[in-house]
Amino acid sequence: MTDQQIYKKIEDIYNSEKGKGFITHLLRSFFPVGKGDYAWSREDGKVYKCCITGAKLGTKDDVWKALQSDEGKAAWINDFKAMSKAMVEGKTEYTHSEEFLALRDKVKPLAVVSEKSTKCLSKEAYQQLHNFYMNELFRDNKHINWIANNERAKETVTFAKKDGFVKNKREERAVHRKMEHSGMKLGDIQALQDIRDRMEKDKLEK
């Protein structure tokens, strides 16, 4: 599939009655950027398949094993020779060896996975999902904006707890609502003031 076809498919899925929840799940699982990573190895013989394009995908371990095989070593040696020959001749480009091309075709593209989901994406689908996410944010899609604010609020609370800025559930809720831009209550305002006062006190004591 081309990038345009992948983008259109994501758009069509999101705009369908049942598909909106699925794309929402992917957006929450893979973004903000940093939640997705290439799969390291196959867990219990798992088959990786892109949930958008249906393409079969591989892992870093698959690539490593291919490179460590006799076929893989020969491919890299022959390709290195072809590259070295081109450099000696003053060429900026060179033709990959047949062995290298055969190995490249045999090794499947890497799967992009997330700890938050059992689904995986091809690199192309991941990029187009990100493009869709950003475009909808710029178009002021209220649902996508709410997802982005909600995920940002969760991350802020997580880091605030880790760094000791929030001390209880009341303060967690206040920070979450503030970052999410949802309705603030009187108790939330007081909780945020308590956090500010504590931070100011810590600053003066240092």
Model pLDDT, residue 2: 95
Model pLDDT, residue 188: 52
Judge contact between 157 and 38, C-beta under 8 A: no
Average pLDDT per consecutive 10 residues, the chain (206 residues; last block may be shorter): 96 95 95 86 83 94 85 83 88 81 81 94 96 92 88 72 69 64 53 61 57
pTM of the full structure = 0.71
Model pLDDT, residue 184: 46
Model pLDDT, residue 129: 97
Model pLDDT, residue 5: 97
Model pLDDT, residue 72: 80
> In angstroms, what CA-CA distances link 54 with 10, 90, 165?
13, 42, 44
Judge contact between 78 and 97, C-beta under 8 A: yes
Judge contact between 133 and 29, C-beta under 8 A: no
